[in-house]
């Protein structure tokens, strides 16, 4: 096949891919309503990866194109997965963000000063026995 020719994908293949994309979309909706715990994001990304692979290979004709283009696409997809993995690791292991306080540092310091001004001096509260 020369580069001037264009591959024509059979209509049967296109219908099968469209049916698979519809099925995967329904699967995406179903799994989004389920509580999979820590697997929520990996399952959603896996389904999206399969859908993207179908679109790229069949609709964008990467399957019938020069194999170098497939390698370039594969390397690009690999790097996207690596970057997503690093991002997910960062957000998953950040620690407890719910223990943070509200307000700025200046507001917190002002609130502490107001509390200290309301409290009496500890030395004034001591009982002095020498006055007896």
Arithmetic mean of pLDDT over the chain? 82
Q: What is the pTM of this model?
A: 0.57
Per-residue pLDDT, 99: 62
Give per-residue burial for 4-20: e unless 16+ CB within 10 Å, then b: eeeeeeeeeeeeebeee
H helices then E strands: how many in the chain?
4, 0
Greatest alpha-carbon pair distance for the chain in Å reads 113
pLDDT confidence bin for 47, thresholds 50/70/90: very high
Per-residue pLDDT, 106: 84
Q: Is the pLDDT of residue 1 over 60?
A: no
**Percentages helix, strand, coil for the chain, rounded to the nearest 5?**
75, 0, 25
Q: Is the pLDDT of residue 4 over 60?
A: no
Mean pLDDT of 119-128: 68
* Residue 28 half-sphere exposure toward CB, CA atoms < 13 A: 15
pLDDT in tens, 18-34: 999 999 999 999 999 99
């Amino acid at each position: 096949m020369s580069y001037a020719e264009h591959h024509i994908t059979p209509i049967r293949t296109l219908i099968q891919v469209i049916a698979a994309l519809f099925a995967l979309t329904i699967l995406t909706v179903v799994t989004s309503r389920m509580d999979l715990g820590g697997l929520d994001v990996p399952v959603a990304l896996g389904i999206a990866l399969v859908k993207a692979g179908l679109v790229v290979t069949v609709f964008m004709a990467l399957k019938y194109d020069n194999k170098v283009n497939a390698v370039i696409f594969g390397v690009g997809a690999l790097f996207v997965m690596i970057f997503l993995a690093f991002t997910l690791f960062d957000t998953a292991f950040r620690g407890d963000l719910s223990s943070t306080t509200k307000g700025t540092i200046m507001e917190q310091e002002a609130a502490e000063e107001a509390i200290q001004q309301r409290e009496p001096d500890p030395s004034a509260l001591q009982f002095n026995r020498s006055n007896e």
